[in-house]
């Protein structure tokens, strides 16, 4: 153990500890379907699924991709895979065909779990389209030309689909694995094994698979809960996606490390959030600023009782001061906290504490988490800067990722030879260690808490016939903070309208990445050396989109 403040536990051991200490405490609740499991019941369900997966040949170190909304078995799978040494690979629910194809190929995933679908996307159809062999292959013996590593596809539910094992079938396989076999597999695990992979974009290119260990996300989750004073008596309302660290680390692991109760929503709906908080007397609530705004502005807000609330987290994008003050006053969340981090940091680097002043909680992202070193450096020289001076935020500690999967060069760019993870975000630190974020990756767009990297959208739009060049930037939005704007130069004689660009994207990339604003231009503002000045496109957006206020 590197420090008395860090626990050397696997995620399975963290769950077992909660089960042993508070077996009758409620672990997971879904108000909309009257779904309730105590920690004892949840632990038993996890063990059945884990043993079933073992019986079906899932080996230690294999990736298990999960493409699903926040359904009850999502959290079960998070711990079941951890207990047998598999690596949970979280898939963004907004992904469409091209994005899933890239992820499965780059990750070399051996296993895939899907649900029926989400919004306008039919996941089963998309899966069958990408893997036509699924309909004719014997279950468990998949041979896919496009995805040579993929061995089997599962359905995360009770329905039966061609070529897929369903959850009841997986659980039915559990008796095939003896207690001795199950314990022997767990005995081979280390808390320093990779247990989670999440895909995050970079400023230059396509998404990268961030490898996180039991030790990194388990301890990060523990301290996130500690900073909110979580105990087994707390009840956390969790409406954020589980495929993000916000859901599966800040939410699930902060709760389970304290045997707290998770009140989960399959997807965000302001009325369901308010009903869940009131009905279950939740003490904590998480959300990005747009979620809290949607709750505060809802016409039924005054009809719900929020008096049980005490704490929670607002994160994902800049938190407006007025919104924070309303949440504290109208929703009784006097101990709400702010977090800052990135997936590569497991993810939280800094967090405000419940005892911090309102000023610190609205003007800063708090102080460094325990056992994490933070420094600010001059981006040009790499020299550390002093209090009050702007610099790039870097961190070092147990939380730093193992690296990007199969991308050693990108890993070396992100983590220097001394182990410091470079965030790319600019910040200022005061004499007390409180940090204020002042800038970020120059090109990154944050739309309602979703990080969007222009290069990925640009590369996709380059494949559209008739497009000669494209530059993507963030356009200010009252509702989401920013929306995606695309500035397109057409090839000669190309007949393309802005709506054609959006139509080309639909069904192929995530809805939130589809350009809300498209301008057809003949040239871009350039530097003397011939580089596109994206900041000018951002600054002069009203020239291109005069109808925006």
* CATH code at 11-330: 3.40.50.12780
pLDDT digits (tens, 9 = 90+) for 440-495: 655 678 898 887 878 789 879 988 999 988 889 999 998 898 999 999 999 889 99
Q: What is the pTM of this model?
A: 0.84
Instruction: Classify each residue of 145-178 as buried b or exposed e, where b means 16 or more C-beta atoms within 10 Å of its C-beta.
Output: eebeebbbbbbbbeeebebbbbbebbbebbeebe
pLDDT greater than 70 at residue 203: no
Cis bond before residue 234 (omega within 30° of 0)? no
Model confidence pLDDT, tens digit, residues 75-126: 999 999 999 999 999 999 989 999 999 999 999 999 999 999 999 999 999 9
Over residues 342-372, the pLDDT tens digits come to: 999 999 999 999 999 988 988 899 999 999 9
What Rg do the C-alpha atoms of the chain give, in angstroms? 23
Cα dihedral 88/92/93/97 (nearest 10): -110
Q: Which helix (H) or strand (E) holds 404?
A: strand 403-404
Say which DSSP state 344 is in.
G
Q: Delimit the CATH 3.40.50.12780 region(s) of the chain.
A: 11-330
Residue whose structure tokens are 């468990």 = 140
SS3 content of the chain, % helix, strand, coil (to 5): 35, 25, 40
Q: Can you name the CATH fold of 445-544?
A: GMP Synthetase; Chain A, domain 3 (3.30.300)
N-to-C CA span, the chain: 55
Query: Structure tokens of 286?
Result: 């998480």
């Amino acid at each position: 153990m590197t420090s008395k403040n860090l626990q050397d536990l696997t995620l399975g051991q963290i769950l077992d500890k909660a089960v042993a200490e508070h077996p009758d405490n409620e672990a997971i609740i879904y108000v909309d379907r009257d779904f309730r499991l105590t920690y004892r019941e949840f632990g038993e369900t996890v063990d059945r699924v884990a043993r079933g997966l073992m019986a079906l040949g899932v080996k230690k170190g294999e990736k298990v991709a999960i493409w699903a909304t926040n359904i009850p078995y999502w959290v079960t799978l998070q711990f079941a895979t951890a207990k047998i040494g598999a690596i949970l690979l979280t898939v963004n629910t907004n992904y469409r065909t091209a994005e899933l194809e890239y992820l499965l190929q780059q990750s070399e995933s051996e296993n895939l779990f899907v649900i029926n679908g989400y919004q306008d996307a039919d996941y089963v159809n998309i899966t069958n389209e990408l893997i036509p062999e699924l309909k004719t292959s014997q279950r468990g013996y998949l041979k896919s030309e496009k995805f040579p590593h993929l061995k089997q596809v599962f359905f995360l539910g009770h329905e039966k689909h061609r070529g897929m094992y369903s959850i009841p079938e997986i659980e039915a396989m559990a008796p095939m694995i003896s207690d001795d076999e199950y314990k022997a597999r767990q005995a081979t695990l280390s808390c320093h094994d990779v247990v989670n992979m999440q895909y995050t974009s970079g400023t230059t290119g396509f998404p990268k698979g961030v490898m996180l260990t039991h030790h990194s996300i388990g301890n990060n989750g523990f301290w996130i809960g500690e900073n909110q004073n979580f105990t087994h008596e707390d009840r956390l309302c969790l409406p954020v996606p589980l495929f993000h660290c916000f859901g599966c680390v800040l939410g699930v692991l902060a709760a389970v490390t304290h045997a707290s109760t998770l009140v989960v929503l399959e997807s965000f709906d302001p009325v369901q959030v308010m009903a869940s908080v009131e009905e279950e007397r939740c003490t904590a609530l998480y959300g990005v600023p747009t979620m809290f705004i949607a709750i505060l502005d809802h016409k039924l807000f005054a009809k719900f009782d929020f008096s049980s609330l005490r704490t929670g987290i607002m994160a994902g994008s800049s938190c407006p001061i007025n919104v924070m003050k309303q949440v504290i006053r109208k929703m009784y969340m006097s101990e709400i906290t702010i977090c800052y981090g990135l997936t590569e940091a497991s993810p939280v680097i800094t967090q405000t504490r419940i005892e911090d002043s309102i000023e610190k909680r609205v003007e800063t992202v708090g102080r460094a988490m325990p056992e994490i070193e933070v420094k600010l450096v001059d981006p040009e020289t790499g020299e550390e800067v002093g209090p009050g001076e702007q610099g790039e935020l870097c961190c070092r500690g147990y939380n730093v990722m193992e690296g990007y999967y199969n991308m050693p060069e990108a890993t070396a760019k992100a983590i220097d030879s001394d182990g410091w993870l470079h965030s790319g975000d600019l910040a200022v630190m005061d004499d007390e260690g409180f940090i204020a974020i002042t800038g970020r990756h120059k090109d990154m767009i944050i739309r309602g808490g979703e990080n969007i990297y222009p290069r990925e959208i640009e590369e996709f739009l380059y494949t559209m016939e008739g497009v000669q060049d494209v530059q993507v930037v963030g356009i200010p939005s009252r509702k989401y903070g920013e929306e995606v704007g695309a500035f397109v130069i057409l090839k000669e004689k190309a007949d393309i309208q802005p709506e054609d660009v959006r139509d080309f994207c639909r069904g192929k990339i995530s809805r939130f990445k589809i350009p809300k604003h498209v301008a057809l231009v003949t040239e871009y503002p350039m530097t003397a050396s011939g580089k596109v000045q994206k900041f000018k496109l951002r600054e002069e957006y009203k020239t291109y989109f005069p109808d925006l206020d």
